Amino acid sequence: MKKPSKSAPVGVTVTPRLLRTRDAAAYLGCSAWRVRKLVQDGALAYIPASDFGAWWFDIMDLDRYVETQKRHFDL
């Protein structure tokens, strides 16, 4: 008898919630250096991923950052 798989069901796509710095940069359409600068400036939250300085970024925080940067042109 075959054991059921512990992975996602066939045909189900799982979108990761946390992204590494370079993936967060690609998501935002900027460089990894820009993402690091946003963290240093306090504009973007991060999660320490290791003792070696790696960072994770929550997609919800990235989306929130984008929303706060939107501007409307007033005539």
Domain ranges for the chain: 18-69
Distance CA 32, CA 38 (A): 10
* Tokens coding 50: 């290791």
pTM over 0.85: no
Split at pLDDT 50, 70, 90, the class of 2 is low
Taking residue 10's Cβ as centre, other Cβ atoms within 10 Å add up to 6
Instruction: Quick: pLDDT tens for 37-69.
Output: 999 999 999 999 887 889 999 999 999 999 999
Average pLDDT score, the chain: 90
